[in-house]
Amino acid sequence: MGPFYTTELTIALSEAGGLGVLSHTALISDYEAGREPVGIMKKNMEYVVEHTDKPFGFNIRTSRREMAASGLVKDIPRFIMKNPKLREQCVYAITSAGSSKTLPQSKPFQRLKESGSQIKHFHVAPALWLADKCVASNVDGLVVSGGEGGGHQSYEKVSTLVLLQQILQKHPDVPVVACGGFATGSGLASALAMGAGAVAMGSRFIASNESEFDGTYKKCCSFR
């Protein structure tokens, strides 16, 4: 959930049996202090494996406007390759907000996959035609995100459950994570019943004690 940090949240989620995901950070305060997203991602990854032995993932926004995206898709796979603990624990790369081809076309990422790493690449699909593009890019799976998802810039006004049905009908063999509007066990059950393999939650976890988000933001995301 960039540009913000989700480092403590990643550890807490993975420790609790979920799969925490490190943000692609891009805070102005970091740039002003001379810290850039590639270096921050490396530090955050090291911090995560120092604090948990559980699997986790990371996000890269591959939009052309993201100055750090090209560095992240090359340097982060190389960095993972060099650290055996990271190679074992970092099992999920999720790209979003840009091309689904950027990471699969990265030679260091290809080498990481060929090295026996269990890492899987999912891309966020906020519309059926974008899911088609992801499948053509040979992603390992799709994060199907409707317009109700937090922090989401929707191409089309389609809800998660409608989009989920469209995509699962057209691509029944592609692993799918449902995303956008889930915050409860019953929400999870509905996604699983429809054929998703998991749900991803953003807003609900912003509201958690472990998240690094500001208290005011946490209150806005709270049900109560």
Ligand X SMILES: Cc1cc2nc3c(=O)[nH]c(=O)nc-3n(C[C@H](O)[C@H](O)[C@H](O)COP(=O)(O)O)c2cc1C
**Is 126 near ligand X (CB under 6 A)?**
no
Give the nearest distance from C-beta 205 to ligand X in angstroms.
Answer: 8
d(CA 89, CA 73): 18
**Is 125 near ligand X (CB under 6 A)?**
no
**Is 150 near ligand X (CB under 6 A)?**
yes
Residue 27: what residue type?
L
d(CA 126, CA 129): 9
**Is 56 near ligand X (CB under 6 A)?**
no
In DSSP terms, 200 is beta-bridged to 179
In 3D, which of 145, 137, 133, 149 has the Cα closest to residue 177? 145
**Is 182 near ligand X (CB under 6 A)?**
yes
Among 55, 151, 187, 195, the residue binding ligand X under the rule CB under 6 A is 151
Output the residue with the shortest Cβ distance to ligand X: 202
Give the nearest distance from C-beta 217 to ligand X in angstroms.
Answer: 8
**Is 57 near ligand X (CB under 6 A)?**
no
Among 6, 44, 96, 100, the residue binding ligand X under the rule CB under 6 A is 96
H/E run at residue 20: strand 20-22
H/E run at residue 26: none
For 107-159, give the DSSP string.
HHHHHHHHTT---EEEEEESSHHHHHHHHHTT-SEEEEE-TTSTT---SS---
**Closer of 48 and 144 to ligand X (Cβ):** 144
Among 106, 145, 177, 178, the residue binding ligand X under the rule CB under 6 A is 145
Name the residues that contact ligand X, by CB under 6 A. 1-2, 23-24, 59, 61, 96, 124, 145, 148-152, 179-182, 200-204
